[in-house]
Chain A
């Protein structure tokens, strides 16, 4: 009886010990585990000056600009309290969208523009068929766009008005693609 209890205590003790050590190590290195910084952290000066880091956030609706004749793009990354303008030259991933998550790797320029040499798209955990997405957008378009695209020009919900009577299956104009 007693030796078995002792072995049980030993096994549980080892797991608890490693878990505590791991938790301490992870919280101590929390900064280093940070995969990206958001615009608020950048604005607060949490980012080591002059060094390469990753900037993460949402691409502001309507902020994407392409330079004609080159691969250079400019857009604004926001977390809805602070904005960071980004400049990038290269091919954007398939999931890069205005209003969707993005992680850019690069450096801050003196003028406050983040110059990226790599742009990664983040996606959410939602999966749905295109028709469902379209009807969802139609039904909740107004409220959703106003909530998410607060700092920018709302593009999608106001679009149908200009076209007069678009057929029900037309995609709301989501710029960029």
Chain B
């Protein structure tokens, strides 16, 4: 068994320097992909046969919605690893995820409302997909609130970790809400087993945005993670090196 990589990843000084080194490798490709995806989505892609130029909201709505679910899944896995193996770094990852996920869940809800008004005829309906996504926002906010309420970092890690793990049940509910129940929201276009029913000229910018947002998440996570790791270390000597630099 070669668990050395695992133990090394759990070591705060190693993760701190690794995160600092890796950040630009995610940030720059993310920026390039998002700019290229924007150009492709707003300028190169043709208008939709039903929705005209209004469909272009997909290029910000779908990546935001994807982030809301992907970040939550990452957060729940990190929290579970932290709870089971008692790894501080894993709890630091989970804590770093929450504000990122919350902001993109909010963006997904608002962009969805702006898309729904002209196309469906309503900003908001208490529809299964819309309601479960709103619950996701409350899960993120509850997680952050719980952490803020608990002084002691270790207790905050454990209590909020349990909440993150419990809330992961909502993730498949959101994804399958449109197939399990009658919903106003349409079925997924890209995140499905069958071939996407979208023209290539419209799909390519969407894939660029999805990948760009994902890399952006990793870059932001790495920056936040360094702060979280630092704040958890009381008196280690390595802090002197990284802080005075």
Contact = CB atoms under 8 A, between A and B. Distances in A.
Q: Is B a genuine binding partner of A?
A: yes
Interface stretch (A13-21, A65-73, A162-170): A13-21
Which interface class (under 10, 10 to 19, 20 to 34, 35 or more) fits B? 35 or more
Nearest to A3: B86
Nearest to B48: A127
A118 B122 CA distance: 9
A127 B199 contact: yes
The majority secondary structure among interface residues of chain B is: loop
A34 B199 contact: no
Contacts of B128: 33, 35
A51 interface: no
Given A56-B182, A127-B198, A121 B119 contact: yes
Nearest to B187: A125
Interface in A1-25: 4, 7-8, 11, 14-15, 18-19, 22
A119 B119 CA distance: 11
Contact of A120 (B55, B125, B188): B125
B199 A125 contact: no
Given A18-B169, A127-B48, A119 B186 contact: no
Interface string B42-71: 000011111100110010000000000000
Interface string A125-149: 1111111111000000000000000
A94 B186 contact: no
A8 B186 CA distance: 37
B51 A94 contact: yes
Which interface class (under 10, 10 to 19, 20 to 34, 35 or more) fits A? 35 or more
Interface string B164-198: 01101100010000000111101111000000011
Contact of B121 (A4, A119, A130, A131): A119
A35 B169 contact: no
B48 A93 contact: no
B165 A127 contact: no
Contacts of B55: 127
A46 interface: no
B49 A132 contact: yes
Contact of B49 (A92, A122, A133): A133
Contact of B119 (A7, A38, A56, A93): A93
A80 interface: no
B83 interface: yes
B169 A19 contact: yes
Interface of A: 4, 7-8, 11, 14-15, 18-19, 22, 26, 30, 33-38, 56, 92-97, 100, 103, 118-134
**Would you list the 8 A-B pairs with minimal beta carbon distance, nearest first?**
A93-B121, A133-B49, A129-B46, A126-B197, A127-B198, A125-B189, A130-B49, A128-B199
Interface of B: 46-51, 54-55, 58, 80, 83-86, 118-122, 125, 127-128, 162, 165-166, 168-169, 173, 181-184, 186-189, 197-199, 201-202
